[in-house]
A and B are shown apart, each in its own frame.
Chain A
Amino acid sequence: MSNEVILEGGQAVSAHHGEVHEHHEHHDTFITKYVFSQDHKMISKQFLITGMFWGIVGGLFSVIFRLQLGYPDTHFPFLETLLGHWAPDGKLNPEFYYALVTMHGTVLVFFVLTAGLSGTFANFLIPLQVGARDMASPFMNMLSYWFFFLASVVMFASLFVQTGPASGGWTTYPPLSALGGASDGSKAGMDLWLIAMALFVVSQLLAGLNYISTVLNMRTKGLSMTKLPLTVWALFFTAVLGVLSFPVLLSGFILLLFDRHMGTSFYLSNITLASGQVLPNEGGSAILYQHLFWFLGHPEVYIILLPAMGMASEILSINSRKPIFGYMAMVGSLFAICILAFLVWAHHMFVTGLNPFLGSFFVLLTLLIAIPSAIKVFNWLTTLWRGNIRFTPAMMFAIGFVSLFISGGLTGIFLGNSALDLHLHDTMFVVAHFHIVMGVASFFGMFAGIYHWYPKMYGRYLNNTLGYIHFWVTMIGAYCIFWPMHYEGLAGMPRRYPDVSNWHSFNMFGGLNEFISAVALVVFSVQLLFIFNFFYSIFKGRKVRTQNPWHATTLEWTTPIRPGHGNWPGEIPEVHRWAYDYSKDGRDFIPQTEPLGDHESGH
């Protein structure tokens, strides 16, 4: 069978005539076990820890630019110590403010919430939950991490070049990003940004191909697609989105590189620089880049969000001790979101001169997303309804995810209307909307996943008390940070400006901005507490003593407490039922591996 084919070459198991040969002692050196590992579990930890590193970096950037936004007139001498000529006299240089905002977006969207989230959990959960010994191609899987690592190195290096990292916004629109003379950040930093992102796209493609192929080809006996846990469904759709949209982004980047260095005019036309110099480029269109970018950019939102949805579904069901409400509706709505994700990209471009008639189609399609989203929310709430809820830290974060998804999703209905978007575009309202619905909500899904599957990853528990502190401060803090931004945005306060104190109308928000910045600092420090908890617990956490600590039905809990490469020491268990048999027939839960009883019917 395919599983055996993959691990051939002395690795783990080969089954012939029903007889099982095991080779527990394969000789792993430090290098093959921890560095160039082909074990999906190790690769997932590599993605997670690299993602956490980037999370700290990206979060620190936001703290620094929040200082600028909250206290535009104050000098912070330590900033000069930290940033040198980017913060003369302790006051942030506007050029560097733009660089910080750009890198904050790039790092968190791509390096943390794409690679760190689906990289971690698709790697960890797909083989374990579909009953596979590893990915379809463990070698490609390893390559995908190392391409991500290379991308990280290049992106990190770009922070230290003389002219600073890319600073044209995380979307890097031309002409700003195409002309080295346009700003400091459009010089070497922009080239490094493009190289890093190209490597990142390669990494995501290698990863995505593997995830899809594993889900479709490597499921254990009896595990039909409709018996899969929702985590696997969500990660599967995430991978499909990535595989179809990242190549288009790459083609956009290739054209941008040629515009920068070969004198082509794909995106450039009739440009006069501030110095009075007239550029020869003709016939290009900056809008073309926006189309190519947002054709990825919008699915990217769901690449970030779907894994969080899947994990929240699973964790809500396990900790409510109830089957997930409307399993097929959950799968169907994931599918609908996937289709719609490709049909709404122009709602990011309502104010680019897009034909209003065309725009109205994009409004309609955008608002249609509310339907599958509402189905999901309804099903999460009905799963919780009258459940026998266990408030573990993972469950808290999953409930928090639902809360944030509702409040962030509702403001999406405002922004999806092209008429309202004329007023709200590029204001703090947009910042508030996407941070809540995509940023913080996905982070909550990720935290939920980490708290829930940590025992499987490391054989130890995270500290619960620190977990609850982490949850409450982050939850309350996130609302305190982003809720006020809606008011600022409705009043017209623009995003991306380092200092709005010249507008008298925005002076009333001075105190509010200080408040937001102060809370951001607190929330950031609580994340450091989580990082401490994470690393401390790897070595000193409470040990896991039972195979199935959460009393869950899925296959990952049938492996040994610390599974080796190959996951199951003996044969891979067979699956007989769906993943959500909780509180059924007087039993708390029935594992997927248990055959159906005489009076039961399958799902």
Chain B
Amino acid sequence: MSGPERKRLHPHKFTLWLGIGSIVMMFAGLTSAVIVKRNQADWQNIPMPQIFWYSTVVILASSLTIQMSIRAFKERNMRSYRSLITLTAVLGLVFIFMQFNGFEAIWAQNVRFTNSVGGSFLYIIFGLHALHVLGGIIFLIVLFAKAYSTRSRNYSAVPVEIASVYWHFVDLLWLYLFVFFLYIQ
């Protein structure tokens, strides 16, 4: 247990970064497919409902709360830690709900799977992103349950840090996807 080994990234954190790499590849595949499609003749623009701007604010706010929860955890301020991760998870759920509202708004303008390739891409790509947010929420719920467990007291900040890196990642991923779809119009 020499010095340099201690500085090494925790293997679980490292695995997370690799996992992020592979999620990036998946969305890179999908968005490059959109670019290919965009250049074909019958592309129709997709209406971008206002609510996506609000959901962007919500998910940005949740990045802030999860960052604060790490600080609370490190200060062993467990009450504030628990309420902050709960708040983060709730914001995540609100985000997913707002995305769904956005889909409804687009759907209402007669953008269907059957008549708009661009719209289908939007539903699938934003939908897959929402699934990844849901994965993050489940992770937070597990952390929450662990924080209440009396059986073991955990002082390692690694799981919380992993959750926050992932959460910031889905946040950034959303920004990328949103800007991408705004720009491609």
A→B interface (CB under 8 Å): 1-2, 5-6, 15, 136-137, 140, 205, 208-210, 212-214, 216-218, 221, 243-248, 250-252, 254-255, 258, 262-266, 280, 282-285, 288, 291-292, 295
| Contact present for B25 and A248 (CB under 8 Å) | yes
Distance A80 CA – B6 CA, assembled complex (angstroms): 65
| Contact present for B42 and A282 (CB under 8 Å) | yes
Nearest-neighbour CB distance to chain B for A286, whole angstroms, equals 12
Q: Residues 97-136 of chain B: 1 if any A CB is under 8 Å from the residue's CB, otherwise 0?
A: 0000000000000001110010011001000100000000
A1-B5, A295-B29 in contact; A255/B18 too (CB < 8 A)?
Answer: no
Closest to B27 in A: A251
| Contact present for A218 and B22 (CB under 8 Å) | no
| Contact present for B114 and A280 (CB under 8 Å) | yes
B26-61 contacts to A, CB under 8 A, are 26-30, 33, 36-37, 40-43
Distance A136 CA – B16 CA, assembled complex (angstroms): 11
Distance A490 CA – B27 CA, assembled complex (angstroms): 41
Nearest-neighbour CB distance to chain B for A266, whole angstroms, equals 7
Closest to B128 in A: A254
Give the residues in chain A near B5, CB-CB below 8 Å: 1-2, 221
| Contact present for A288 and B29 (CB under 8 Å) | no
Nearest-neighbour CB distance to chain B for A118, whole angstroms, equals 16
Give the residues in chain A near B40, CB-CB below 8 Å: 283, 285
A247-B29, A258-B124, A264-B113 in contact; A209/B22 too (CB < 8 A)?
Answer: yes
Besides the known contacts A209-B15, A265-B114, A283-B40, 12 further A-B residue pairs in the complex with CB atoms under 8 A apart: A2-B5, A136-B11, A214-B11, A217-B8, A243-B25, A245-B25, A248-B25, A248-B26, A283-B117, A288-B37, A292-B29, A295-B29
Nearest-neighbour CB distance to chain A for B125, whole angstroms, equals 9
Distance A252 CA – B36 CA, assembled complex (angstroms): 14
Nearest-neighbour CB distance to chain A for B39, whole angstroms, equals 11
User: Which of B2, B12, B124 is A255 in contact with, Cβ under 8 Å?
Assistant: B124
Distance A359 CA – B33 CA, assembled complex (angstroms): 19
Nearest-neighbour CB distance to chain B for A217, whole angstroms, equals 4
Closest to A247 in B: B26
A243-B21, A283-B40 in contact; A217/B26 too (CB < 8 A)?
Answer: no
Q: How many A-B residue pairs have CB under 8 A?
A: 113
| Contact present for A248 and B29 (CB under 8 Å) | yes
Nearest-neighbour CB distance to chain B for A219, whole angstroms, equals 10
Give the residues in chain B near A284, CB-CB below 8 Å: 117
B→A interface (CB under 8 Å): 1-2, 5, 8-12, 14-15, 18-19, 21-23, 25-30, 33, 36-37, 40-43, 112-114, 117, 120-121, 124, 128
Closest to A204 in B: B22
| Contact present for B30 and A251 (CB under 8 Å) | yes
Query: 27 A-B contacts, Cβ less than 8 Å apart?
Result: A2-B8, A136-B15, A140-B15, A209-B15, A209-B18, A213-B11, A213-B18, A217-B8, A217-B11, A217-B14, A243-B18, A244-B21, A246-B22, A247-B29, A248-B29, A251-B27, A254-B124, A255-B124, A258-B120, A258-B124, A264-B120, A266-B117, A283-B41, A288-B36, A288-B37, A291-B36, A292-B33
| Contact present for A6 and B26 (CB under 8 Å) | no
Give the residues in chain A near B28, CB-CB below 8 Å: 248
Closest 8 CB pairs of A and B: A247-B26, A248-B29, A136-B11, A264-B120, A263-B114, A217-B11, A251-B29, A213-B15
| Contact present for B18 and A283 (CB under 8 Å) | no
Distance A243 CA – B138 CA, assembled complex (angstroms): 23
Give the residues in chain A near B12, CB-CB below 8 Å: 136-137, 213
| Contact present for B128 and A283 (CB under 8 Å) | no
Distance A15 CA – B5 CA, assembled complex (angstroms): 15
Closest to B112 in A: A263
| Contact present for A258 and B113 (CB under 8 Å) | yes
Distance A252 CA – B40 CA, assembled complex (angstroms): 19
Nearest-neighbour CB distance to chain A for B135, whole angstroms, equals 12
Distance A198 CA – B112 CA, assembled complex (angstroms): 25
| Contact present for A218 and B19 (CB under 8 Å) | no
Give the residues in chain A near B37, CB-CB below 8 Å: 266, 283, 285, 288
| Contact present for A288 and B33 (CB under 8 Å) | yes
Nearest-neighbour CB distance to chain A for B46, whole angstroms, equals 14
Distance A208 CA – B25 CA, assembled complex (angstroms): 14
| Contact present for B120 and A216 (CB under 8 Å) | no
Distance A221 CA – B11 CA, assembled complex (angstroms): 16
Nearest-neighbour CB distance to chain B for A126, whole angstroms, equals 13
| Contact present for B15 and A247 (CB under 8 Å) | no
Give the residues in chain A near B15, CB-CB below 8 Å: 136-137, 140, 209-210, 212-213
Distance A283 CA – B121 CA, assembled complex (angstroms): 12
Nearest-neighbour CB distance to chain B for A292, whole angstroms, equals 6
| Contact present for B120 and A265 (CB under 8 Å) | yes
Distance A254 CA – B127 CA, assembled complex (angstroms): 12
| Contact present for B42 and A244 (CB under 8 Å) | no
User: Which of A5, A245, A263, A283 is B10 in contact with, Cβ under 8 Å?
Assistant: A5
Give the residues in chain B near A251, CB-CB below 8 Å: 26-27, 29-30, 33
Nearest-neighbour CB distance to chain A for B5, whole angstroms, equals 6
Give the residues in chain B near A254, CB-CB below 8 Å: 124, 128
Closest to A262 in B: B113
